[in-house]
Chain A
Amino acid sequence: MRHLITATVNGRERELSVKSSQTLLDVLRDDLRLKGTHEGCSVGVCGSCTVLVDGKPVSSCLMLASNAEGRDVLTIESLARDGNLDPVQQAFLDRQAFQCGFCTPGMIMAVKGLLNENPKPDEAEVRDYLSGNICRCGTYVEVMAAIEDLTAKPQ
């Protein structure tokens, strides 16, 4: 069965015909061809598929697309503007806070969510908030350093 939903994806209002069983991740990747959001575990524990829904990080592999009705969805592709990276992307780049890069879009979106909620997180809050975003290359120290760079800057 299909549903017609309306959702805002990366700032553009979309009318989408989605199957009942389809996840938000599948709609983003298969229908909208936003391939920057990655699938790692399919059970919501690795964080690679993290996107922002109404400003909050969500595992898009667990969210049914039909539940995106009326919501505002942001993926990694929304961040860079006019060829300029978002400050979070730039901080990741400056700190080389990635290796293989597969978890990176999800990690960056989770950091966006963190800073939306808490502009000055301490280290314990960072570790707790990002514990659902697994980087098997192990580049956690650099992610923490990137966040420190971002929060140290005057707002």
Chain B
Amino acid sequence: MSAVGSDVPRVDGNAKVSGSAQYTADIELPGMLHARALRSPHPHAKLVSVDVSKAAALPGVIAVVTRDDLEGLNPYYGAVVEDQPVLAIERVRCVGDIVAAVAAEEREIAEEAVELIEVEYEPLPAVFDVVEAAAPGAPIIHEERFETQAAVFREQLNLNAGGNVCSVFRAADGDMDAGFADADEIFENTYRMPPVQHGHIEPHVATAVWESPNRLVVHTPCQNAVGLQEQLARIFDLPESGVRVVVPFVGGGYGGKTHARLEPVTALLARKAGRPVQWVLTREEVFLTGRRYGGFVRMKTGFKRDGTLVAREVEVFYDLGAYALSGPANAKTGSYVASGPYRVPNRRLTTYAVYTNLPPAGPYRGVGVPHVAWAYESEMDRIARHLGMDPLELRLKNLLQEGDIFVTGESLVSVGISDCLRQAATGIGWRGREEQADNASEGSLRRGKGLAVIMKSTTTPTASAASVRLNSDGSVMLLTSSTEIGQGVRTCLAQIVAERLGFPVERVTVSAPDTDVTPYDKSTSSSRTTFHMGNAALRAAEEVREQLLEAGAQALEVDKADLELGAGGVSVRGVPDRSLTIPQLLRVKYGDSVGSIFGSCNFQVKGGLDPKTGKGKAAAFWFFSACAAEVEVDVETGKVRVLDIATSVDVGKAINPLQCWLQNEGSMLEALGAAFFEEMVFEQGQPVNGTLLEYMLPSMEDHPERFQSLLVETPHPDGPFGAKGAGEAVIPAVAPAIGNAVANALGGVNITELPLRPDRIVAALAEREAGVSGEK
């Protein structure tokens, strides 16, 4: 193998360093208008009246849309539950809900017009805390809901659980009463994680134009072009072929651009205006448009004195905000891994996806897993400390192994988790039990090391299709709806195709998503692309290869098995001068030296879980990672410095090791931000820190002094060249590794709520001084 497994330079590199890469906001269409929206200032209110007459009369305003413009449309949309109106209808459910939108000749005019819209609201009781929202008697946020057409999700989720609980998912094994009765000790604790921003530097943006009344074209940096196409078709009652979604370069996604966000309103404005409309969200609006779910976790663990886990009961509440997006699916992803990557014979794991009157959340790298990992990996260190065991040994003792039957009933394959943990621990010089020993040192600085290990599923069942076109000059085009969001998917897929054809990578061009041209893909999410689209691309390339070999066998009168395909064409193995070039092969096949050869594949993975039992096949593949960190805490100020951090991921096979490194580095930094300072703060539903002035993202100064991205390669039998996914693997392990390092630095002071702000650390230390330590 040559193309696969090497650090092939990014195929999109030149465009990105030269500034010529075209992002959605760079597109200017003739006659294009600019959009601005009026958003709700209330977290929950009845919409009494909306008067846009003054705005519509402002010179330069071409279209204003409100709920009155939804006549004849399917006004509600959503990936799992159709609960979000294109524009607020009878009420607003969060600060930032879109009430009206304006398209005008200039941005300033659109802004001025928005100021002229008069709205009367009648405030309603609101609820912001996820546990309160799930309780009986909470103000109801959605009186009625309609399930989506997306049958895959509908059939596998327990929707409409009642009240504000949008969905419940449960996975279970064994007998809880017997399990806890069997335990020598029981720990019970709660953990919290606040909402955080995806932080993609490119804001959400869309450009929409109607080519005719039955033909909508949208340019948008969407991670899920086909899903968006389906949703827009349904809203506007068009066949899917009546909607074309084109994805230019994407300025970061991290899950935040997976679902329809501003595209429905942009399309509605463009239809009314009869002209192209571009809408670029302000950063303040981005804060009201998507985020990671806040979460609350209750965890009860029964264990033996030798460290064996025997029972675990977990309840998790994910705060969806006002609309579900893929929340129920993401909460399901958190459920079956809520007891961690451990053998636990008795367990009951329940996740609730709950509406609140906060702006909507959505999938963010790791989806529901960081919340449960923060809890179960903090617990593992508490248990180790209590038992006087090495936290590494405690984990290794309980970790899942190859072939184990998981709580979902499936047998686990390609389980490199113990190697990941050992590798990460070794990476920072883990010494064993003494890492939890008392750590008295001079001055105010204390050092500590911490570990964490996680597993995550990829969304299943799903499909990805690809087609490969070989041109007569030997160049190759891969048509795919997978989105390059920075993760290097174009390069990775080019490597896979080149490898199968024996061609240099430079000969393979990988398309951007364009639903007129590129075939179906479930979405660029869940770390699924290398595995699913990689398989589709590999098999599509295989079809092309077969056709070339068949043509060669016919013309050279040899068996196909005696031929090899390479950069120059087909040749007889060991007899290089008995060969045919690509144009010659086309002539054999078509009687002409021009034309092209096509190969295609619709790669599908069956599976899914029975929502009643939680059993079935949760994942086409599982991924595993570990993180080990060393920190230095200043006990006077509560400030923490990360001295060393190592991550290890079982990627199956690294198609491009450098891009794997970059994925892990990026995941580590995002998670580091969320561990130390990132949190979206709301007061009565109003954003308190909703700009990048008040909400910090990690800068170069926050990058740890030392970072290692380590890889384990446990080939997956179904993966392309054995590969699995890597995009999200690191993120859930980082915060608990850092939290455990901080706890070990402080001699066992556990902080259960993220982020680990200096004031929380100082307060926890003061609490211990006062003799009311939170330690169980």
Contacts and interface: CB of A to CB of B under 8 A. Distances in A.
Interface in B96-122: 108
A99 to B, nearest CB: 3
A36 B108 CA distance: 23
A106 B553 CA distance: 54
A48 to B, nearest CB: 5
A32 interface: no
Interface string A119-153: 00000001110111111111111111000000000
Interface stretch (B249-257, B509-517, B736-744): B249-257
A143 B669 CA distance: 14
B486 interface: yes
Interface stretch (A1-9, A65-73, A75-83): A75-83
Interface in B673-727: 691-693, 697-701, 703, 707
A35 B22 contact: yes
Contacts of A42: 282-283
B19 A139 contact: no
Contacts of A35: 19, 22-23, 25-26
Nearest to B20: A36
Given A43-B283, A96-B13, A102-B252, A138 B698 contact: yes
Given A35-B26, A45-B693, A128 B701 contact: yes
Interface in B643-694: 658-659, 662, 665-670, 691-693
Contacts of B659: 96
A136 B252 contact: yes
Contacts of A128: 701
A60 interface: no
Contact of A130 (B15, B18, B692, B700): B700
Nearest to A35: B26
Interface centre among A98, A126, A138, A143 (most CB of B within 10 A): A138
Given A40-B202, A96-B10, A139-B666, A104 B283 contact: no
A13 B670 CA distance: 42
Contacts of B666: 99, 136-139
B200 interface: yes
Nearest to B282: A42
B370 interface: no
Contact of B19 (A33, A46, A77): A77
A136 B666 CA distance: 7
A134 B695 CA distance: 12
Contacts of A57: none
A134 B691 contact: no
A93 B21 CA distance: 14
Interface size on A, as a range, is 35 or more
Interface in B15-37: 15-23, 25-26, 28
B692 A45 contact: yes
Given A41-B692, A137-B486, A142 B252 contact: no
B287 to A, nearest CB: 11
A93 B14 contact: yes
Nearest to B27: A35
B240 interface: no
A133 B697 CA distance: 10
Nearest to B17: A89
B700 A101 contact: no
Nearest to B203: A40
Determine chain A's interface SS by DSSP, over half rule. Answer: loop
Interface centre among A21, A80, A105, A136 (most CB of B within 10 A): A136
A144 B19 contact: no
A80 B697 CA distance: 30
B598 to A, nearest CB: 31
Given A36-B20, A99-B487, A46 B692 contact: yes
B201 interface: yes
Given A38-B23, A93-B14, A138-B669, A101 B201 contact: no
Interface centre among A21, A99, A100, A131 (most CB of B within 10 A): A100
Nearest to A43: B693
Contacts of A99: 252, 486-488, 662, 666
A137 B661 CA distance: 12
Contacts of B698: 134, 138
A33 B707 CA distance: 40
Given A134-B699, A139-B662, A101 B251 contact: yes
Interface string A39-67: 11111011010000000000000000000
B9 interface: yes
Nearest to A139: B662
Given A102-B251, A134-B699, A139-B665, A76 B18 contact: yes
Contacts of A105: 19
30 contacts: A21-B108, A35-B22, A35-B25, A37-B19, A38-B202, A38-B251, A41-B691, A42-B282, A75-B19, A89-B17, A93-B13, A96-B658, A98-B486, A99-B487, A100-B200, A100-B251, A101-B16, A126-B700, A127-B700, A127-B701, A128-B701, A130-B699, A130-B700, A131-B700, A134-B697, A136-B666, A138-B669, A139-B666, A141-B703, A141-B707
Ranked nearest first, the 5 interchain pairs of A and B with the lowest CB-CB distance are A36-B19, A102-B251, A100-B486, A101-B16, A99-B486
Interface of A: 21, 33, 35-43, 45-46, 48, 75-77, 79-80, 85, 89-90, 92-93, 96, 98-105, 108, 126-128, 130-144
Given A136-B697, A138-B703, 17 more contacts: A36-B18, A40-B203, A85-B14, A85-B18, A89-B17, A99-B662, A100-B252, A100-B486, A101-B15, A104-B17, A108-B17, A127-B703, A136-B254, A138-B668, A138-B669, A139-B665, A144-B700
